[in-house]
Chain A
Amino acid sequence: EAQVTQNPRYLITVTGKKLTVTCSQNMNHEYMSWYRQDPGLGLRQIYYSMNVEVTDKGDVPEGYKVSRKEKRNFPLILESPSPNQTSLYFCASSLFPSGNSYNEQFFGPGTRLTVL
């Protein structure tokens, strides 16, 4: 089954304790992205990756890191989480977007993170 998986699905942690949220897709997609979703603010892009070893900042990258060592995986790293990073996080992937081509983004099920 074609899918995007995220782990963990739920996480409660404390300020300053490093954590990693994993994202994996089995569709051989080049493009992967991380979003956070907060009430009243909608979906905002954190980082994205065009392909292996190619990453770039989205709209709200502060406090986050990513890596893309393999095509299928795109982990999100919070080196020192803070309470303002409490949010619902989604990973997404799609075929490489070129020009105005149609490229549906497939989303993972989400990770609900609480930082105390």
Chain B
Amino acid sequence: RKEVEQDPGPFNVPEGATVAFNCTYSNSASQSFFWYRQDCRKEPKLLMSVYSSGNEDGRFTAQLNRASQYISLLIRDSKLSDSATYLCAPKGGAGSYQLTFGKGTKLSVIP
């Protein structure tokens, strides 16, 4: 099983739609999880962090399922500006300093 797996997409959704991405991870010791957003040819930027069961920030909701070892990102009321690649990054367990990035899921929001 790969360390971090994401559906590469692309997800093509109309404006206003709700879209969800899943990310599975293999390291059961991971305690902290991050979603980064990356625009084409630009640097990744932190979107959300998840430590317990979930986190919500405006139109974005991240949920964690430790038993099944996956985290999800839900985007409500999609905007054109949400078009980007979304990277999932679990942090290793206590004592680890590394993030392991998934390959990303590409989202295109269509007018």
Decide if A108 is an interface residue (CB 8 Å cutoff).
yes
Residues of B within 8 A of A35 (CB): 101
Q: Flag if A102 contacts B51 (CB, 8 Å).
A: yes
| Number of B interface residues in the complex (CB < 8 A) | 23
Residues of B within 8 A of A42 (CB): 87, 101-104
Chain A interface residue count, Cβ-Cβ cutoff 8 angstroms: 26
In the bound assembly, the distance between CA atoms of A108 and B93 in angstroms comes to 25
Q: Which residues of A contact B72 (CB under 8 A)?
A: none
Chain B 41-94 interface residues, beta-carbon cutoff 8 Å to A: 41-46, 49, 51, 87, 91, 93-94
Q: How far is the CA of A44 from the CA of B98 in the complex (A)?
A: 11
Cα–Cα distance between A108 and B33 once the two chains are bound (Å): 21
In the complex, A88 Cα to B31 Cα: how many Å? 29
Known: A42-B102, A110-B41. A97 touches B46 (CB 8 A): no
Interface string of A42-53 (1 = CB under 8 A from B): 111100101000
Are A107 and B49 in contact, CB atoms less than 8 angstroms apart?
A: no
* B44–A90 touching, CB < 8 Å: yes
A104 touches B46 (CB 8 A): yes
- Least CB distance from A10 to B in Å reads 11
